[in-house]
Amino acid sequence: MKLSEILTPDVIVAPLKSSNKKHAINELLDVLHEKELVKSREDALKDILTREKHLSTGMENGLAVPHAKSDSVDKLIIAFGFHREGIEFESLDGKPAHFIFLVMSPRDTSGPHIQALASISRFLKNDDVRQRLLEAPNKDDIYDILCEG
């Protein structure tokens, strides 16, 4: 699965205004809700935060992928947020998250959800990609870089 298949420019938030994990999740969820991709914002947030309590989705190399399955969505959806300074996300390597993907899919599906998580992880492992994202001057350039993955 390519990121260009599931990501659109209107669900990219760059820069994120939030300065902590919970606010960043809320900011990205707001974008998905405004685009009417989420039926119940409250239920979706509950599902995401429940997943986060179980195990933080802060990964390594500045990447965080909060995700959940929810009855609040009809299909796989994704939003991306960029924070130049980084946000504390309880990451595996202890470093702040700069690149935050919010991924949601219907509760009764597995394949696309897992494929999206794998695509994001695989693409953002590349040092050059992360550096280019950090240096990208605007949202359009960020989208173009993400569409390469």
Out of 23, 33, 54, 67, the active site residue is 67
- pLDDT exceeds 90 at position 118: yes
Helix or strand (DSSP H, E) at 139: helix 139-146
Give 17's contacts (C-beta < 8 A, 6+ positions apart). 27
- pLDDT exceeds 90 at position 94: yes
Q: Which two tokens stand for residue 128?
A: 């050059």
- CATH architecture under which domain 3-146 falls: 3-Layer(aba) Sandwich (3.40)
> What's residue 1's pLDDT?
78
Phi, psi torsion values for 62, nearest 5 degrees = 80, 10
Q: How confident is the model at residue 78 (pLDDT cuts 50, 70, 90)?
A: very high
Q: What is the pTM of this model?
A: 0.95
Is 83 one of the catalytic residues? no
- The answer to whether the CB of 52 falls within 8 A of the CB of 79 is no
Domain ranges across the chain:
3-146
Q: How confident is the model at residue 17 (pLDDT cuts 50, 70, 90)?
A: very high
Nearest-CA neighbor of 77 among 56, 44, 59, 102? 102
pLDDT mean across residues, the chain: 95
The pLDDT > 90 percentage for the chain reads 89
pLDDT in tens, 24-66: 999 999 999 999 999 999 999 999 999 998 888 999 999 999 9
